[in-house]
Structure 1
Amino acid sequence: MTAFGKALTAVETGIPGLVLWELPVHGDSRGWFKENWQREKMTALGLADFGPVQNNISFNDAVGTTRGIHAEPWDKWVSVATGRIFGAWVDLREGPTFGAVFTAEIDPSRAIFVPRGVGNSYQTLEADTAYTYLVNDHWSPDAAYSFLNLRDETAAIAWPIPLDEVEISEKDKQHPRLADVTPIPPRRVLVVGAGGQLGRALRKEFAGEPHVEFASRAELDVTSSELPSARRWRDYGAIVNASAYTAVDLAETPAGRRDAWSANVAGPAALARIATENGITLVHVSSDYVFDGSADRAYREDDEISPLGVYGQTKAAGDAVVGTVPRHYIVRTSWVIGEGKNFVKTMAGLADRGVDPRVVDDQIGRLTFTDDIARGIRHLLTATPPYGTYNLTGSGDPASWADVARAVFAGVGHDAGRVTGTSTSEYFAAAAGPVAPRPGNSVLALEKIALTGFAPADWRESLRAYLADSRLTD
């Protein structure tokens, strides 16, 4: 008998992501009505907006029809239109809950959300049972599936009707016991632009994790028309865009302008479309250059953008495109230091060669080391705070580029007084080529990301560690 008058309620099951739902059903002498899937109400109560693309119905005319235990690489919303089932779900994903079991009866007043990799099976308890399920991917022979035998002794499912008394397909009879099951791996993470400074830091951060893949620009052209078919994208849970055009002065030239718009806007736009169509989380790295630097305080994530030059304009445009992706993290950073040529190595080299540099002292910000950005990206993907933009720079007191240079000189054993401060306009007065405008204030507020549980490292401490690292001589 279908229960009427329930409140829409989510019930946790003990298997992560597997959620039982009590559904309001309204009935009278004519029959009944229910909202079997109501995106707005259900997502408000915590259900992931899983983006179903197909609705399937399995009609079962006899009591005891038994089907199972299949784990597919997609999510399901399981319910019944008529009749009643005994459902059994077994976690077949890699991880500590592998093998966990949950069972429940499902009638029209109940539904269950079955996450990717959780094995799904049922036994009908009434004749003429119509079992229905929404899925967020289409069946594919290239997808990774996993199966468990209905009689598995470890799962020990208490079937209401003994399996010896019901008809089971030959395929289901041949499925392995739990000890022989191939666990469903987590959805993959793809890092694009993996050959750059941030890409190399991400390689180090995720080293040894088989579900994380890396692709350089040469290995994956994100602006190619073949990008939609370059991967089976439904197997990916996140894309980290570590590629960018960062030659801020060269971007002011005709050729540089084209390259900057291609890398910083067309590339992210292509990734945004892939992410939106496949329910992927897109992580994109932004810049302090989206601001004009005129604020008298640290820039917050919701401050209006006002880029000064071509580079900043392309980064702002890329951010706007990525911001349309339902699942996105825009990581806004500044003054990035990583492996390869950078300001810190340049200053250390000048110090060792006896050169006393003039360094700009009217641009204020904080250094950000790529190791810290990579650590922050891992945190966002693991902790999954609300999607949106997060500032992520080094913490500590802001400083000028001249102050940073002095800290480098002192850190490598030289007199910090050898560094002379100068204004931006004076420094570039004799420049031979185009010079991009720089924001005077590049300080980004860090309160928002701190509230997620991430603690950015103090830039001075990171600098000391960097100067002691062998990368300084790369």
Structure 2
Amino acid sequence: MGTLAVRETAIPGLLVIDLQVHPDARGWFKENWQREKFTALGLPDFGPVQNNMSFNPQVGVTRGIHAEPWDKLISVATGRVFGVWVDLRAGESFGTVVSVEVGPDIAVFVPRGVANSYQTLEPDTAYSYLVNDHWSPQARASYTYVNLADPALGIDWPIPLTQAVISDADRQHPLLADVVPMPRRRTVILGANGQLGRALTQVLPDAEAWGRDRFDVTDPAAYQAVRWQDYDTVINAAAYTKVDAAETPEGRRDAWAANVTAVGHLARVATEHRLTVVHVSSDYVFDGTAKIHDENEPVSPLGVYGQTKAAGDALVATVPRHYIVRTSWVIGDGPNFVRTMAALADKGITPSVVDDQYGRLTFTDDLAAGIAHLLATRPAYGVYNLTGDGPVQSWADIAADVYELCGRPRTDITPVSTAVYSAGKQTSARPRHSTLALDKIIATGFTPRDASQHLARLRALLTSERTLDQRPTSSEGQ
């Protein structure tokens, strides 16, 4: 019978599975793919959708070395083969070769972009492979090949290729030196033109950046036009964030369209194509009763914006591979609270600022770095709070910090209650306490920086920008 086990190989992601074969007087029985047992041993939950069989009546049948744009699990039903795999993915392991003799007691998991070949060692060999995408002419066009006889591969075929049964097409494949590596699956950033989207493009320069001009998240047809098989991760930084406008009839429709209906489209696509989704959420999913919110607190949104974010979170949570990143009080490259306060300070204005809402600022470069960390380390899927660290403050406290950094007295800020500030205005209810617990993200190895460090840096940047704006103009060198 043997022991069910999974073994790694020299090719990253190429796994050999020792199967349990149960013999008796009638023959034998084996579980060729058993999702619960195999994934528990480390095999990817790769979601097969098609099962193909190849029957080979002769010894020495040799199939070409083909790399397809999907994952597969290979095995034999009868007979034995000499299996060969060559990594044709872009990266350091390109060109690595692994060979294994495969009988009924062995299966091999072959990741996308690793080329697969075999040579039959017994007559009447039935070769089986499960794949996680449907074959199509479009998919065939993205195959990558390498020549069976390339000396650079150093393959010691049991039956010399001069005596093997090989198709003319397989004899014509290119040498390794001429192979164009299969590109790895890509990451795409939705909402790339926003403050967080721009920060994400800085920390993930290889990701594709899609703004609304490229991809309208609210358009169902946009999702159908993408070949999602070429991607493995989607970061959803697109959202409707006009908290007060969301309380109007038009704003309510727009908020639900962008934050819920669009997220539903993304969740369906991600589930179908086994994508990892990083979805940015908000402290507004809470009513602010608790002074500190951890990842396990039930949602209790107060206004339309918070309700739509909570609904979007629930949809993303249905995706098997998801990270919901909850954040608060985001400050980035563009109009924001800190820039507004700095501008008011420069003009000598003494504003009234709310003093009974509490939380921590989150700078977009820190938020983007935390998201990149999650994707690099791949901790358990689920919800992660991610904000700046440091003391909990009110908006009035932060405004006073900005004024002090601008050389103005802290007393220029007049603290007022939310009720006083909102009197006569159409505003949405806001959580009183927006502080998010950071223990879970810190446990993954990422420590958010104290927001005050960014505050001082941002003030220095604003000072620099103002200095540049005030320089005398000159036509020289124009």
Q: TM-score, normalised by structure 1?
A: 0.95
Which of 453, 459, 462 is the aligned partner of 2:445? 453
Q: Which residue in 1 is equivalent to 2:474?
A: none
Cα offsets for 1:131-156 (capped at 9, x unmatched)? 10000112233342211111122221
When residues 424 and 93 of structure 1 are mapped into structure 2, their CA distance, relative to the original with a 3 A threshold, is same
How many Å separate the matches in 1 of 2:129 and 2:458?
A: 53
Look up the match of 1:239: 234
Separation in structure 1 between the aligned mates of residue 449 and residue 184 of structure 2, nearest angstrom: 29
| Equivalent residue number for residue 269 of structure 1 | 264
| Percent of matched pairs sharing the same residue | 61
Shift of 1:426: 1.5
Q: Which residue of 2 aligns with 1:196?
A: 194
1:72 maps to 2:68: yes
Amino acid in structure 1 at the alignment position of 2:2: K
* Corresponding position of 1:354: 348
| Correspondence for 1:167 | 165
Partner of residue 224 from structure 2, selected from 215, 229, 238: 229
Aligned residue for 1:385? Answer: 379
Q: Which amino acid aligns with 2:420?
A: E
* Structure 1 residue 442, shift from structure 2 partner: 0.6
Q: Distance in 2 between matches of 1:442 and 1:273?
A: 31
SS at match of 1:204: helix
Following TM superposition, by how much is the alpha carbon of 1:346 offset from its aligned partner in structure 2, in angstroms?
Answer: 0.4
What one-letter code is carried by the residue in structure 2 that aligns with 1:236? Answer: Y
Question: Aligned partners of 1:14 and 1:468: how far apart in 2?
Answer: 50
Deviating more after overlay: 89-98 vs 222-231: 222-231
SS class of match (1:142): helix
TM-superposed deviation, 1:428: 1.1
Give the partner amino acid of 2:5.
T
Local SS of the residue matching 1:382: helix
Does 2:329 correspond to 1:335?
A: yes
CA contact (8 A) 1:190 1:240 kept: yes
| Cα pair 2:220 2:265 within 8 Å, conserved | no
1:44 aligned onto 2:36 = no
Does 2:213 correspond to 1:218?
yes
CA distance in 2, matches of 1:162, 1:426: 87
| AA in 2 matched with 1:265 | V
Unaligned runs of 5+ in 2: 470-478
Structure 1 counterpart of 2:28:
32
For structure 1, which segment, 369-378 or 105-114, has the greater mean C-alpha deviation from structure 2 after superposition? Answer: 369-378
Deviation, 1:469, is: 2.4
Q: Which runs of 4+ in 1 moved over 4 A?
A: 470-474
Equivalenced residues, count: 464
Are the structure 2 counterparts of residues 372 and 178 from structure 1 closer, same or farther at C-alpha, using a change threshold of 3 Å? same
Alignment correspondent of 2:362:
368
2:434 maps to what in 1? Answer: 442
Gaps of 5+ in 1: none
Q: Which letter maps to 2:197? A: G
Counterpart contact for 1:257–1:310, Cα < 8 Å:
yes
Structure 1 residues 472 and 340, CA, compared in 2 at 3 Å: closer, same or farther? farther
Letter in 2 for 1:64: G
| Equivalent-residue separation in structure 2 for 1:177 and 1:103 (angstroms) | 18
1: CA distance between counterparts of 2:378 and 2:347?
47
How far apart, CA to CA, are the structure 1 residues paired with 2:407 and 2:65? 66
Q: Helix, strand or coil for the counterpart of 1:112? A: strand
Taking structure 2 as the reference length, the TM-score comes to 0.94
Distance 1:12 1:454 in 2: 28
- Aligned-partner Cα distance in 2 for 1:73–1:467: 48
**For structure 1, which segment, 63-72 or 450-459, has the greater mean C-alpha deviation from structure 2 after superposition?**
450-459
Residue 472 of structure 1: how far off its partner (Å): 6.4
Q: Which residue matches 1:22?
A: 18
1:15-47 Cα offsets, whole Å, 9 max, x none, are 111110001110112100011001111111121
**Residue of 394, 410, 419 corresponding to 1:400:** 394
Two-structure CA RMSD over aligned residues (Å) = 1.5
The alignment partner of 2:217 has SS state of coil
Q: CA deviation at 1:206?
A: 2.3
